[in-house]
Amino acid sequence: MHSLILRTGTRLLLALMVLFSLFILWRGHNEPGGGFIGGLIAAVAYSLVALSFGVAEMRRMLPADPKTILGAGLALAIVSGLFAVVGQGGLLADPYMASRWYISYTETGEKGFAIGTPVLFDIGVYLVVIGGILAMVRGLMEEL
């Protein structure tokens, strides 16, 4: 599609939308948001590129093939659950997907920064959604 407005707009929007999708991904940790919706936003951003500049350009802008992104996300999501292998009760004592946390405490003993395996799972979902949708978009656009 050769639309100057769409092309110019896409250039502006792409970075903004990808950044926003990362923000949504991070925000999903404790508030509405998360990997799924974030992944959708990023996928829409890249689909916009595919619409205005073509599929080849979209693939060039992506760090890897959509199918590889999908596989990596799936692997990450699986691995995030495997942290539960080592539990307090010993090996394999906790169920799969039991979360593991790192929490930093301030000098006064207050809870500070906390990060855990659910984030990893969410990032996996984010990648699966991007990979899956872009693989689908590419297939469709090459087909139609």
Partner 1 sequence: MEVVLAFTIGGLVTGAVYMLLSRNLLRLLFGVIILSNAVNLSIFLAGGLDYGVPPLIQGADKVLEGTYANPLPQALILTAIVIGFSLLAFALVLVYRGWQDMGTIDGDALRVAEPVETTPALEAAARARKHGRETA
Partner 2 sequence: MSWLVAAPILVPLSTAALCALAWRSIPAQRGISLAGAVALLLCAIGLLAQVAGGVQVMQMGGWKAPFGITLVADTLTAIMVLVTAIMAVAVAAYSLGDIDPVRERNGFHPVFHALLVGVGGAFVTGDLFNMYVWFEAMLISSFVLLALGGTKEQLDGAIKYAALNLIATAALLLAVVLLYGLTGTLNMAELARLVPQVQNQGTVTTVAVLFIIAFGMKAAVFPLFFWLPASYHTPAVAVQAIFAGLLTKVGVYALLRTFTLIFVGDTGWTHGGILLWIAGFTLVAGALGSLATKDLRKALSWQVVAHIGYMVMGLALYTPLAIAGVVFYLVHDIVVKTNLFLGAGVARRLSGSSRYEGMGGLFRSAPILALVMFVPLGSLAGFPPLSGFWSKLVLVQAGLAAQSWWIVAAALVTALLTMMLAGRIWAEVVWKAHPAGDLAGLGGFSPGRRVALVAPLVALSLVTVTIGVWPEPVMDLAGRAALGLLDPAPYIEAVLGAPAPQPTMVGELPVTPAAPGQGGAP
Report the interface residues with partner 2, using CB under 8 A. 65, 67-68, 70-72, 74-75, 78, 81, 84-85, 92, 94-99
Contact call for residues 98 and 121 (beta carbons, < 8 A): no
Residue with tokens 């350009």: 57
Should residue 144 be labelled a site residue for partner 1 when binding is judged by CB under 8 A?
A: yes
| CB-nearer residue toward partner 2: 96 or 105 | 96
97 binds, among partner 2, partner 1, none (CB under 5 to 8 A by kind): partner 2
57 binds, among partner 2, partner 1, none (CB under 5 to 8 A by kind): none
Should residue 140 be labelled a site residue for partner 1 when binding is judged by CB under 8 A?
A: yes
Q: Say which residues have a Cβ less than 8 Å from residue 143's Cβ, sequence separation at least 6.
A: none
94 binds, among partner 2, partner 1, none (CB under 5 to 8 A by kind): partner 2
Helices 4-27 and 117-143: angle between axes, nearest 10 degrees: 160
Residue with tokens 């599609």: 1
Should residue 142 be labelled a site residue for partner 1 when binding is judged by CB under 8 A?
A: no
Should residue 31 be labelled a site residue for partner 1 when binding is judged by CB under 8 A?
A: yes
Should residue 143 be labelled a site residue for partner 1 when binding is judged by CB under 8 A?
A: yes
State the Cα–Cα distance between residues 140 and 57, nearest whole angstrom.
16
96 binds, among partner 1, partner 2, none (CB under 5 to 8 A by kind): partner 2
| Half-sphere exposure for 72 (CA within 13 Å, toward CB) | 12
Contact call for residues 129 and 121 (beta carbons, < 8 A): no
Give contact residues for partner 1 (rule: CB under 8 A). 31-32, 136, 139-140, 143-144
